[in-house]
């Protein structure tokens, strides 16, 4: 029985199957639509929001309100849109009111917008940059779609539901931590909730370009174009790169087309981040991309960018802000990159989930290399096929969203996951998914150490191009000699990136020797770590943990007070700790491996 099938006004109190009707029509990577160069009507701004701890709104069907005043309702309800708080979108509710800081549950967002009539040859989509973790979308009282996965974009087709004139849009967003989600409930960052990236409305012709990509082939003298349409049409699409004088027709069969064209391009690189404008057109639709061309591959234990060895001087970064939580503005992203460059970086690891879409776009312009990843973090429920489907979908959405970004060179498929058969099968599946969707980039994960042989050995490594290793010798493991032994013992046979290493420091806390939480020990830690790492021939890069201190409930000592303090810069995003200068000096004086 569901609440839909009865007149009993108390049915919702007893119906534990209330969520079932909303499990249909979920947006996935398959339904994702590129917004590159498209005109999007912004639906950001003031919305109304009501917190909902118990999914009461799904039980009572808060989306199916008529808009008559409460006194007219046949059955009294426990919800009124006007009683909600006025909140901005994008935002995270946790930072809007002190009493909402630790709220984990649902929230009903509502706004109205005016729409023109839908033309006969038109599709209308709602687009969402991200909602953490799951979202259900309702238009004028009808359930129109939903999504799960807290950091990837999705679109919902509302062509058949959109009314000319005023429309009421409601989104139920829910951020409960659960053992079967990706990530699961135990994480070392803050679980911000809400509609925290942009929302918009896009109008497209019925036959539209769902995705289009351009990739430089490994030999470097040909570009492969790929296009996917909204329908299984057989037609042709056009591609043009005006600066190269390139124009070609892509044959499209059953809605999909690919073409390889000879081209002489100037390569994109950190020193010379050359971008080209590409225009794809098909029927009445067109998208414009700005992309760059480069190759990346592995040879023995080295990473080659444009066929030259590169050492990745990097730092990890979270999306975390004292005032906005997980909301990133363009100014925030540019500030992160300014700080990373000041540190001497050519590389950032975007931990531990897909960051805002603008991040890779700006990295393309700035000439920074990126590791982008999905939150397959710690003790995921590897045996659950639904969890795998969720992880696979998040990874696919990330790859399809960023496929034209030359800055992204590595897809990360997991972080520090215990070595079980179920984990191996799960993560091998993700590595295969990444390779299938995008053979042009490298796949990595933060792998494990074999404690018996004391070597970098992980069965997952067979499925990866690059072995990531998080290690904290000198911090969680007091002795640096362990690192020396580990690096000396290991024969990984492929490049290793130290995907994390770091130590906590409270700003202004000083002391000599291994005094934890001092700026001095953090600085010394990074110097000693770097000395050992940079001297190891198979190590091809380092992503130091991390650029800024960040909120996390699990860190509660007097020095931490709800923050992970391994930032090289404080949570004010301004105060550089001694370790910032120490690592900057290491990066500055490191010889160029290509020289
Ligand atoms: C790790 C995790 C990272 C933590 C970090 C730490 O290995 O991957 O998410 O925040 O250690 O500070 O302990």
Q: Does domain 297-588 have CATH number 3.20.20.80?
A: yes
Q: Is the pLDDT of residue 129 over 50?
A: yes
Report the separation in Å between the CA atom of 188 and the middle of ligand 1, taken as the mean of its atom positions. Answer: 7
Q: Is the pLDDT of residue 1 over 80?
A: no
Q: Is the pLDDT of residue 546 over 80?
A: yes
Distances (CA, A) of 253 to 31, 33, 203: 18, 19, 24
Report the separation in Å between the CA atom of 180 and the middle of ligand 1, taken as the mean of its atom positions. Answer: 21
Secondary structure class of 241 (helix, strand, coil): strand
Mean pLDDT value across the chain: 96
Q: Is the pLDDT of residue 445 over 60?
A: yes
Q: Is the pLDDT of residue 473 over 90?
A: yes
Q: Is the pLDDT of residue 345 over 50?
A: yes
Please state, in angstroms and rounded to a whole number, the distance separating the CA atoms of residues 391 and 389.
6
Ligand 1 pocket list (CB less than 6 A): 188, 352, 415-416, 470, 500, 545, 564, 566
Report the separation in Å between the CA atom of 189 and the middle of ligand 1, taken as the mean of its atom positions. Answer: 9
Q: Check residue 299 and give its pLDDT.
A: 98
Q: Which of 79, 77, 83 is nearest to 48 (CA)?
A: 83
CATH superfamily of 209-293: Immunoglobulins (2.60.40.10)
The 8-class DSSP code of residue 452 comes to T
* In the chain, where the domains are located: 3-203, 209-293, 297-588
Asked, colleague to colleague, whether 3-203 and 297-588 share their fold, the answer is no
Distances (CA, A) of 197 to 42, 132, 154: 11, 10, 11
Report the separation in Å between the CA atom of 331 and the middle of ligand 1, taken as the mean of its atom positions. Answer: 26
Return the ligand 1 atom nearest residue 187 CA: 9
Distances (CA, A) of 195 to 137, 307, 330, 353, 583: 12, 42, 17, 16, 36
Helices 385-402, 421-437: axis angle to 10 degrees equals 30
Q: Answer yes or no: pTM beyond 0.95.
A: yes
CB neighbour list of residue 587: distance below 8 Å, 6 or more residues apart:
313, 343, 344, 345
276 phi/psi in degrees, rounded to 5 = -120, 150
Structure tokens at 305: 């960018």
Please state, in angstroms and rounded to a whole number, the distance separating the CA atoms of residues 265 and 195.
40
Return the ligand 1 atom nearest residue 446 CA: 8
Q: Is the pLDDT of residue 68 over 60?
A: no
Structure tokens at 133: 């973790």
Return the ligand 1 atom nearest residue 564 CA: 12
- The pLDDT confidence band at residue 593, using thresholds 50, 70 and 90, is confident
What class is the 3-203 domain? mainly beta
Tokens 């933060």 correspond to 446
Least reliable range by pLDDT among 59-63, 71-75, 456-460, 499-503: 71-75
Pairing of strands 408-415, 442-447: parallel
Instruction: Report, as an integer, the average pLDDT of 512-527.
Output: 97
Report the separation in Å between the CA atom of 551 and the middle of ligand 1, taken as the mean of its atom positions. Answer: 13
Pocket probe for ligand 1: among 183, 184, 187, 188, the residue whose CB has the most ligand atoms within 8 Å is 188
Q: Check residue 502 and give its pLDDT.
A: 98
DSSP labels, 125-188 = EEEES--BSEEEEEETTEEEEEEE-SSS-EEEE-TTTPPSEEEEEEEEEE----TTSSS-S--S
Protein residue with least CA distance to atom 3, ligand 1:
188
Tokens 């990126």 correspond to 370
- The pLDDT confidence band at residue 373, using thresholds 50, 70 and 90, is very high
Instruction: Report, as an integer, the average pLDDT of 327-335.
Output: 98
Q: Is the pLDDT of residue 6 over 90?
A: no
Least reliable range by pLDDT among 8-17, 221-230, 422-431, 559-568: 8-17
What is the per-residue pLDDT across 102-125, written as a single tens digit (0 to 9) for each? Answer: 999 999 999 999 999 999 999 999
Report the separation in Å between the CA atom of 416 and the middle of ligand 1, taken as the mean of its atom positions. Answer: 9
Contact indicator for 407, 437 with CB cutoff of 8 Å: no
């Amino acid at each position: 029985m569901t609440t839909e099938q009865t007149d009993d006004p108390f049915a919702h109190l007893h119906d534990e199957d209330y969520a079932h009707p909303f499990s249909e029509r979920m947006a996935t990577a398959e339904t994702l639509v590129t917004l590159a160069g498209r005109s999007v009507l912004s639906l950001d701004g003031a919305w109304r929001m009501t917190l909902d701890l118990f999914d009461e709104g799904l039980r009572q069907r808060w989306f199916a309100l008529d808009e008559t005043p409460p006194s007219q309702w046949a059955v009294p309800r426990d919800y009124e849109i006007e009683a909600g708080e006025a909140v901005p979108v994008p935002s995270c509710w946790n930072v809007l009111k002190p009493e909402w800081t630790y709220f984990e549950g649902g929230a009903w967002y509502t706004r109205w917008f005016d729409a023109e009539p839908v033309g006969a040859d038109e599709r209308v989509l709602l687009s969402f940059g991200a909602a953490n973790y799951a979202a259900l979308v309702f238009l004028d009282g009808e359930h129109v779609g939903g999504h799960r996965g807290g950091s990837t974009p999705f679109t919902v087709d509302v062509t058949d539901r959109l009314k000319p004139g005023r429309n009421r849009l409601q989104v139920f967003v829910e951020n409960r931590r659960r053992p079967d989600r990706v990530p699961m409930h135990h994480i070392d960052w803050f679980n911000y909730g809400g509609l925290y990236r942009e929302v918009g409305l896009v109008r497209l012709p019925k036959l539209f370009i769902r995705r289009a990509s351009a990739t430089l082939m490994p030999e470097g003298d040909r570009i492969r174009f790929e296009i996917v349409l909204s329908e299984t049409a057989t037609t042709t699409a056009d591609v043009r790169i005006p600066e190269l004088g390139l124009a070609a027709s892509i044959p499209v069969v059953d809605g999909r087309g690919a073409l390889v064209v000879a081209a002489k391009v100037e390569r994109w690189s950190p020193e010379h981040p050359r971008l080209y404008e590409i225009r794809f057109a098909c029927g009445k639709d067109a998208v414009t991309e700005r992309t760059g061309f480069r190759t990346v591959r592995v040879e023995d234990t080295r990473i080659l960018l444009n066929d030259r060895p590169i050492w990745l001087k990097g730092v990890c970064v979270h999306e975390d802000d004292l005032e906005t939580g997980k909301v990133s503005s363009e100014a925030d992203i540019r500030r992160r990159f300014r700080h990373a460059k000041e540190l001497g970086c050519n590389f950032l690891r975007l931990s531990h989930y897909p960051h805002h879409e603008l991040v890779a776009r700006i990295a393309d312009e700035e000439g920074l290399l990126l590791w982008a990843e999905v939150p397959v973090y710690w003790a995921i429920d590897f045996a659950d096929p639904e969890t795998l489907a969720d992880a696979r979908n998040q990874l696919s959405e990330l790859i399809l969203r960023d496929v034209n970004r030359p800055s992204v060179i590595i897809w990360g498929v997991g972080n520090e996951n215990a070595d079980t058969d179920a984990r191996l099968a799960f993560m091998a599946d993700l590595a295969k998914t990444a390779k299938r969707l995008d053979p042009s980039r490298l796949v990595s994960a933060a792998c494990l150490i074999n404690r018996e042989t004391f070597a970098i050995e992980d069965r997952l490594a067979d499925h990866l191009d690059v072995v990531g290793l998080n290690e904290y010798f000198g911090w969680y493991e007091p002795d640096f000699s362990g690192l020396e032994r580990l690096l000396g013992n290991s024969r990984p046979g492929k490049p290793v990136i130290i995907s994390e290493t770091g130590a906590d420091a409270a700003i202004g806390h000083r002391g000599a020797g291994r005094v934890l939480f001092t700026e001095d020990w953090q600085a010394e830690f990074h110097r000693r770590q770097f000395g050992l790492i940079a001297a190891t021939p198979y190590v091809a890069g380092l992503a130091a943990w991390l650029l800024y201190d960040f909120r996390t409930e699990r860190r509660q000592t007097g020095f931490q007070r709800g923050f992970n303090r391994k930032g090289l810069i404080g949570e004010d995003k301004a105060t550089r700790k001694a370790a910032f200068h120490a690592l900057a000096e290491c990066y500055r004086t490191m010889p160029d491996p290509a020289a």
